[in-house]
Amino acid sequence: MEIQAIHIREENQEIAEKWGLEDGQVVIMIHSGSRAWGGMMGPKYTKDFKAAMNKWGVGTPDPNLVFAPIDSDQGQQYINLMQSALNFAVVNRHMLAYGVREGFKEVFGSDFEAPVLYDLMHNYALKEFHRNQPMMVHRKGTTRALPAGHFLNTEAYKETGHPALIPGSMGTSSYIMVGAKGGEKNFYSICHGAGRVRSRRATKELITIDEFAESMKVGTDEEVLVNQRTLQSILDECPQAYKDVDQIIDSIEGAGLASVVAECKPLAVIKGV
C-alpha cells in the first residue's frame, strides 16, 4: 500500500476531472493479489500440464512452456481454480482498502471518505471478444486498458475508458493511465509495472543497504517511510531491482497503447506485512 501525491497530465485534465482526480490530491494505491493461493497453482499445474502433454504426445520448443486445451479436464480445473484465486484477490484488496480507510478515519475523523477509483487484475486469463471472435486472453504481468467507447467498459467508464493502474517500485512514481484505440493491436493490454531487471537473489547479492537507502532518500527531508525495522528485510524489493518505470511508460505511450492521466509520487509505503 502506498500513500501518493498525484500530478495530473495537462492533456488528460478532462478525464481526470471525470474520475474525481485533481492536481496535488493524495491517493492510496494498493497492489496485491491472492498471495499464496495463486502462487500454489503455478507449480502444481505446470507439473500436471506436463504430465498431460506427455500422455497426449505433444510438446513445445521450450519445456517450460506448457498448455492444456480449455475443454480438457486439466484446462477446466485450472480455469476454475484461477477464478477462485481472482475472487480471493479482489476480496483481499478490498479488505486492505477497508483497513486503510479505517486507519485514516482514526486520524481525520469519521467523516473521512476514500471512494474506490478502480480495481483491476494483473495476472489472469479471461474470455473476451476480439477481432470478431471469442478468445481466451492470458495476461501475465500485464493489465487491461480499454479506451473510451469500448463495449467491454462498465457504464461509469464508457465515455472516458477505464483507469489502468501501473505501480512503480518503492521510491519511484506509479501511474494512472487510460487506454488508447491503438491498443486494439495488443488486445488492449499494457504492462502492469516496470518489471524486474534482476531476480530477488541477484538483487540481494549485487545491491548494498547503503545503495538501497540512497535510492529512497532515507534520512533526508524527502524520505520515503517504510514499515520495516531494517531495509535488509525488503532489499529484494528495492528500486534497483526494477526497470526504469518512466522509460516503460514512455514506451507504452510511444506505442499508442495508452496515455498518462496522473503521475503518483510515493509519500509512504507499507510493504511485506
Domain boundaries, the chain: 34-116
- Cell numbers that stand for 144 in this block: 487491461
Residue 122 is predicted with a pLDDT of 85
Residue 21 has pLDDT above 90, yes or no: yes
Output Rg (C-alpha) for the chain, integer angstroms: 20
Distance CA 64, CA 125 (A): 18
At position 250, the amino acid (one-letter code) is D
Residue 272 exposed, middle or buried by CB count within 10 Å (0-12, 13-18, 19+) = exposed
| Strand duo 26-29 + 2-8: pairing | antiparallel
Active site residues: 192
Query: Which residues contribute to the annotated binding site for GMP?
Result: 122-123, 167-170, 174, 192-195, 271
Distance CA 132, CA 129 (A): 7
Cell 478502480 identifies what position? 118
Instruction: Look over the chain and give the mean of its residue pLDDT values, rounded to a whole number.
Output: 90
Residue 222 is predicted with a pLDDT of 63
- Cell numbers that stand for 78 in this block: 485450472
Residue 273 has pLDDT above 60, yes or no: no
SS3 121: coil
Cell 484505440 identifies what position? 181
| Strand duo 142-144 + 123-130: pairing | unpaired
Query: Which residues contribute to the annotated binding site for Mn(2+)?
Result: 31, 122
Residue 35 is predicted with a pLDDT of 78
